[in-house]
Structure 1
Amino acid sequence: MTAHESTLPTQFDGRHVNGFPPEPGHHDALAVRHTLAVAHRDAGDLGRAVPLLEAVVTDYARVLGADHPDTVNCRRNLAATYKAAGDPARALPLFEAVLAHRVRALDADHPSALVSRSNLAAAYRDAGDPWRAVRLLEAALAGAERTSGGHTAPPRSASVARVRQARH
């Protein structure tokens, strides 16, 4: 343990806070539950991931507030999990809410908002609405170009690369 860590009021080792198990709604317990749910999703166990993430989103909103960054990030993970489960009816409204929050809280051209716009585009593409996906990706690309002075890095996804090719 570093000197800085020893001055922190709460010590968390992944299972205990100051030697005691955290309360179910404690922020550290929520973080571990969130990580566990994402691990289930990444392992392909969507049946376990979905209810865990649904509960954690609800608890994060209750404990930290609906607009807290951890709540919004968990909401994004729940949307991604619904998308992975092939449930666009539940994924799309959450991706929309995450984008709206990030635009409101950060800025339309903030990197997190641009990624959220791209995530929403991918969800629309997978839901069978490729033209809405293209419009969202074009908006994300325009935002990226505005914030980089027109000098964007090589695209990180094939979707953005296709939009760039279509525009030039």
Structure 2
Amino acid sequence: MEREVATLFAPQILERNPDIVGVTFIMKIDPSKISTSITPFAMIDEHSALPQEQEILFTMHTVFRVGEIKQTAENSRLWEVQLAITDESDPQLAGLTDCIKDEIVGKGWYRMGQLMLK
């Protein structure tokens, strides 16, 4: 059902503009890896114009691992991207974070600028 809703509008938009492609993100959320203290989120369906969509709002620092990326069989301009939520104990994420911390020196805005240049 959710996949049908997600792909309902894409073909209409793709028909109007031949220069764009559509992307559907399929999120795999392991409940054991998510909690409001580690990954704050909000169920916003009661505040949405379409409450039946069961929308969830994640914080900006939520990290997802990109899995398979494939074209859909129905439309060559529509792609599906599999995402899986990570948590603070993810060893690859911890390794990447440590590497970035080691490479980026300085303080404040200078450090932010160095990160952006990487």
- Scaled by the length of structure 2, what TM-score is found? 0.26
| Higher RCO by CA contacts (8 Å cutoff, separation 6 or greater) | 2
Which has a greater percent of strand?
2
Which has a greater percent of helix?
1
